[in-house]
Amino acid sequence: MNKWFNPRSAFGVTLIAVALLGLPFVAAMGGQAWVRILDFAILYVFLALGLNIVVGYAGLLDLGYIAFYAVGAYTWALLASPHFGLHLPIWVILPIGAALACIAGVLLGSPTLKLRGDYLAIVTLGFGEIVRIFMNNLNAPVNITNGPQGITLIDPVAFGDFKFSGNTQLFGLTLSGPMKYYYLLVALAILVVIINLRLQNSRIGRAWQAIREDEIAAKAVGINTRNIKLLAFAMGASFGGIAGGVFAAMQGFVSPESFSLMESIMILAMVVLGGMGHIPGVILGAVLLSILPEALRYGVGPIQMALFGKMMVDPESLRMLVFGLALVLVMRFKPAGLWPSPERKRELGEKQAEGKA
Partner 1 sequence: MSTNLPSTLLEAKAVAKHFGGVKALRDVSLTIRRGEIYGLIGPNGAGKTTFFNCMTGLYVPDGGAFTFDGAPLVADAPQHAAARGIARTFQNIRLFGNMTALENVMVGRHVRTRAGVIGAMLNTSATRAEEAAIRQRAIDLLHYVRIEDRADDLAKNLSYGDQRRLEIARALATEPKLLCLDEPAAGMNATETEELRELIEGIRHDGTTILLIEHDVKLVMGLCDRVAVLDYGALVIEDVPAVVQKDQRVIEAYLGA
- Interface residues toward partner 1, by CB under 8 A: 195, 198-199, 201-207, 209-210, 212-214, 216-225, 231, 235, 343-344, 346-347, 350
Nearer to partner 1, 213 or 316 (CB): 213
Q: How far apart are CA 207 and CA 180, in angstroms?
A: 38
**Is residue 58 within 8 Å of 218, Cβ to Cβ?**
no
Nearest residue (CB) to partner 1, 324 versus 349: 349
Distance CA 76, CA 72 (A): 6
**Dihedral in degrees, nearest 10, Cα atoms 262, 268, 271, 277:** 170
Query: Is 292 exposed, middle or buried (CB count within 10 Å of its CB: 0-12, 13-18, 19+)?
Result: middle
In angstroms, give the least distance from the CB of 273 to partner 1: 19
User: Of 80 and 235, which CB lies nearer to partner 1 in the complex structure?
Assistant: 235
Cα(first)–Cα(last) distance of the chain, in Å? 31
Closest by CA position to 80, among listed 252, 199, 219, 241: 252
Smallest distance, partner 1 to C-beta of residue 311, A: 48
**272 CB-near residues (< 8 Å, 6+ apart):** 55, 285, 337
Q: Shortest Cβ distance from residue 215 to partner 1 (Å)?
A: 10
User: Which residues, at least 6 apart from 17, have a Cβ–Cβ distance to it below 8 Å?
Assistant: none
Smallest separation, CB 278 to partner 1 (Å): 12
- Compute CA 168 distance to the chain's CA centroid, rounded to the nearest angstrom: 28
Residue closer to partner 1, measured from CB, 181 or 208: 208
Cβ distance to partner 1 smaller for residue 206 or 334:
206
Residue number, 177 or 205, with CB nearest to partner 1: 205
Residue 49 exposed, middle or buried by CB count within 10 Å (0-12, 13-18, 19+): buried
Query: Shortest Cβ distance from residue 29 to partner 1 (Å)?
Result: 38
Looking at beta carbons only, is 14 or 202 nearer to partner 1? 202
Asked whether 338 and 281 are in contact (CB, 8 A), the reply is yes
